A and B are shown apart, each in its own frame.
Chain A
């Protein structure tokens, strides 16, 4: 036991001697959270719309003023479809072009059908879908009101009897920041725990200092915990720091028990540190480790549900996620923070993670050799 404590003390001394480490623990997360949480939004906030008004009637002008009055649209109007209408999508000066044909109002007045054309820059398919949905809805509503105003008393707008009334539990304002912040915390905690500890070990290998430790009577069972515990503590401090920032800046709710969150994180950290050490044992240089690590991190992080729901992934990806520790943590941290899930709700994940941690640590200790 004493041996482990002394190794831990030595590690802490060494870690804090590195002038990069303190900014890495405290400033980087702050910047990351500020930038990433604000940047990560799927909401369409502005639509640059070019209206080609070839009708120039009361009807079309009414529609344009309705669109211009909405905050989301930045409307430009031209009278005829010229070169601008052709190139504005090409040079990214507009997101969508709405063309109102001549005679639109006249046809509608005669109770005939008419059509407008809406062209979108669909390179970003997701955004184009939203723009289409939103703009069509606006135009339809305008048209319904116009019809109703033509024939007062007619139940033209009474067609929609069934109404869908959505309620969003846990996040009524659909605040995307509350969704992203726990995800960022997963990244931060993982980098601190898994990456720093592994790179630390490989660095000793690359510089040759590990041999000096190997010739001492320190045993594997002392050395590995001595290397891990400092980073384990740092990662937990990082989590507290991140949670505080999240609460102060973004009012991210903490609905569940913090004790439960820290308990799960501790187990999770043991698992990813085991994996990190295993990767470290396989690498000779920091560059090698960095690349393997980067590859693993990018792949599994994207699969873990950081940006998109796991349930919508193909079956093989969901199967792979059974061995993806990030996926468990990503799910649990959101459940505890946002939904207030309790111990019983996360019990299956807790058990899986514990088995994972034991297996990963055994693997890492077994693979670590004192000989060269």
Chain B
């Protein structure tokens, strides 16, 4: 035990000595939270828009004012022809154009149907869809104001209630996702690389011939990262709560238990990868492509799993982060108890066991 402690302290010193990496280890969660919170949002704000008004009457002016008064759109320039719109789109400065045809108001008076043409830059389909959605809402509102005093009886109201996240904050999605990503990154990636490093530089041999049991060596290498990962998880949750108001509705103990389970899972994954690779490059390669990208993209962190093709949905069931994110969301945001997450917990525990068994099987104390 004493030997093991001494070894762990040595590992802590190694990490502590590398100030820059340490700084990044604690800096990453803070920067990620800020970026996901303020920069990578799915909202549309201040989109430059051009308006081509061939009618130039009071009604089109009213609608134009409404569009430009909204927080979503900003007027770029006035144009006189569709050709000009094309050029502006190609230069990439403008993404939306609104065209009012001739005699807009007159047609309206004659109770004809009048179109408002909207051209959106479809090269970013998401933004295009959102912009058109907002614009349609503005026009419908303008229409309603024009039709004031019409028949109002026999109407059906739809009362919408947004459960768990009434203000539709994006933070409710990215805080759990960031926790999963950072835990994975530190526990799995760092562990596998630091073990592979010992192999590559040959210092592993020095340790293997020492009286320490191989298991102790691995555990000693892993313990510091457990501590760092746990601190990072706490930082993210604290920041998410303080800045973005992400609540913790469920039990704190259950949450801590699940976080620790996931850290163990990631560590066992890291150890498994390190047994498969002999250089840091290979370990990085494995963790980056086999771990990080799928963790970000196939876990429901950014893109909802239910909307993926069926084959990918099956594939995503192999991603530990997918289950962990469901657990986090249920406990933190919905206040669900263990009864609602036992299935996911069991899956994570099972995965941990498999990774550990494979690592033990593949671990050799001989080096070629």
Contacts and interface: CB of A to CB of B under 8 A. Distances in A.
A13 interface: no
Given A91-B340, A206-B201, 11 more contacts: A18-B281, A46-B307, A122-B162, A125-B172, A126-B168, A160-B143, A164-B116, A168-B119, A179-B126, A291-B20, A309-B124
Interface stretch (A2-10, A224-232, A262-270, A338-346): A338-346
Interface string B35-52: 110111111111110000
Nearest to B297: A39
Given A125-B170, A169-B120, A169-B122, A288 B18 contact: yes
Which of B21, B27, B116 counts the most chain A CB atoms within 10 A? B21
Contacts of A113: 153-157
B220 to A, nearest CB: 17
Contact of B21 (A133, A139, A161, A291): A291
Given A123-B164, A302-B40, A118 B119 contact: no
Interface stretch (B221-229, B230-238, B326-334): B326-334
Nearest to B127: A309
A42 B200 CA distance: 42
A152 interface: no
The 6 closest A-B pairs by CB, nearest first: A125-B168, A171-B122, A168-B122, A122-B162, A115-B157, A174-B125
B90 A335 contact: yes
Interface stretch (A30-38, A76-84, A215-223, A239-247): A30-38
A302 B161 contact: no
Given A40-B297, A124-B304, A341 B136 contact: no
Contact of B160 (A42, A118, A313, A341): A118
B115 A170 contact: no
A41 B112 CA distance: 39
Contact of B119 (A156, A167, A338): A167
Contacts of A295: 24, 27-28, 31
A162 B114 contact: yes
Which of A112, A136, A169, A339 counts the most chain B CB atoms within 10 A? A169
Interface string B306-346: 11110010011000000000100110011010001000000
Given A171-B125, A312-B44, A91 B307 contact: no
9 contacts: A113-B155, A119-B160, A120-B160, A120-B162, A133-B133, A167-B119, A199-B284, A285-B197, A338-B123
A140 interface: yes
B156 A143 contact: yes
A119 B334 CA distance: 14
A92 B328 CA distance: 13
A212 interface: no
B90 A24 contact: no
Interface in B124-174: 124-129, 132-133, 135-136, 139-140, 142-143, 147, 150-151, 153-170, 172-173
Interface of A: 18, 20, 24, 28, 31-32, 35-36, 38-46, 89-92, 108, 111-129, 132-133, 135-136, 139-140, 143, 147, 156, 158-172, 174-176, 178-179, 199, 203, 206-207, 285-288, 290-292, 294-295, 298-299, 302-303, 307-309, 311-314, 317, 331, 334-335, 338-342, 345
B361 interface: no
A114 B135 contact: no
B173 A123 contact: yes
A311 B42 CA distance: 11
B367 to A, nearest CB: 16
B123 A36 contact: no
B95 A311 contact: yes
Contacts of B24: 291-292, 295
A124 B132 contact: no
Contact of B289 (A28, A121, A207): A28
A287 B194 CA distance: 7
Contacts of B340: 90-91
Which of B18, B27, B128, B329 counts the most chain A CB atoms within 10 A? B128
Interface residues of B, number: 112
A82 to B, nearest CB: 17
A156 B151 contact: yes
A175 B139 CA distance: 26
A331 B190 CA distance: 33
Contact of B308 (A39, A108, A199): A39
A135 B162 CA distance: 13
Nearest to A342: B90
Given A118-B158, A118-B159, A166-B132, A35 B303 contact: no
B83 interface: no
Given A39-B297, A156-B151, A339 B123 contact: yes
B151 A162 contact: no
Given A35-B297, A176-B126, A20 B117 contact: no
A133 B122 CA distance: 21
B75 interface: no
A341 B111 CA distance: 42
A116 B115 contact: no
Nearest to B120: A168
B282 interface: yes
Which of B40, B95, B336 counts the most chain A CB atoms within 10 A? B40
B168 A128 contact: yes
Nearest to B28: A295
B336 A302 contact: no
Contacts of B95: 309, 311
A313 B127 CA distance: 13
Contacts of A338: 123
B135 A164 contact: yes
Contacts of A203: 280-281
A168 B132 CA distance: 9
Contacts of B114: 161-163
Which of B32, B156, B170, B197 counts the most chain A CB atoms within 10 A? B156
Given A46-B307, A292-B24, A161 B297 contact: no
